[in-house]
Amino acid sequence: MNPAIYVRAASLEDLPGMLEIYRPYVEETTITFEYDVPSLEEFRQRYNGIMPALPWLVCQYEGITAGYAYAARYHQRAAYQWNAELSVYIRQDYQGKHIGTALYRSLLRVLTLQGFLYAHALVTLPNQDSIRLHTHMGFRKICVNEKTGFKLGVWRDVAELCLPLAEIPKVPDPPCPYNALSPETVVPIFREEAAKIAFP
């Protein structure tokens, strides 16, 4: 692996760089349905609301934040606790280098270790790159919610995709929090996936 490339758990110090990645997605695309870029404080609250129960990962290349991804609760009710919803955002000038795949695979492997049973993704249509990424990783399309969001002057359809992570037990144990996993367990996953990123 190129030693300048890292996938690791995100920290509070990473938030400004991640927020700058997120900014153009809010302002210029329908990939996220937010209208306004969150403040750094709001972004920090979101991070604190996810970590340490669920992973929030960052990819860095030569000290530059190249992308990030995280898992969140799929729904709040207790019976949904074995489901996670995934999101990934990549710097626009670092697209096409398999950063999203490395982050996603890291997330999926960690979620499986935690005891999650399903990963979900919501994709605003059209977005062939995202659909291709998800189907390549084994997600299947469950449904398309038509005209479910209005952004940039147009009603948008949203596809929901799902990936089973493990066999479904009759009586599942609750997923363990991310911070209950040891660094010896997760760091080799991050290193292995970072080695697949296509930087020169």
pLDDT band for 1, please (50, 70, 90 cuts). very low
Select from 180, 174, 179 the least CA-distant residue to 51. Answer: 179
pTM comes to 0.94
Whether the CB-CB separation of 133 and 104 falls below 8 Å is answered with yes
Convert the pLDDT of each residue in 136-189 to its tens digit.
Answer: 999 999 999 999 999 999 999 999 999 999 999 999 999 999 999 999 999 999
Domain at 5-114+170-194, CATH homologous superfamily: Gcn5-related N-acetyltransferase (GNAT) (3.40.630.30)
Whether the CB-CB separation of 125 and 157 falls below 8 Å is answered with yes
Distance in angstroms (rounded) separating the CA atoms of residues 97 and 40: 27
DSSP strands (E only) in 44-179:
56-61, 64-73, 83-90, 118-125, 140-151, 154-164
Per DSSP, 115 falls in state T
Determine the pLDDT at residue 63.
87
Per DSSP, 48 falls in state H
Please list the residues that pair with 144 across neighbouring strands. Answer: 159
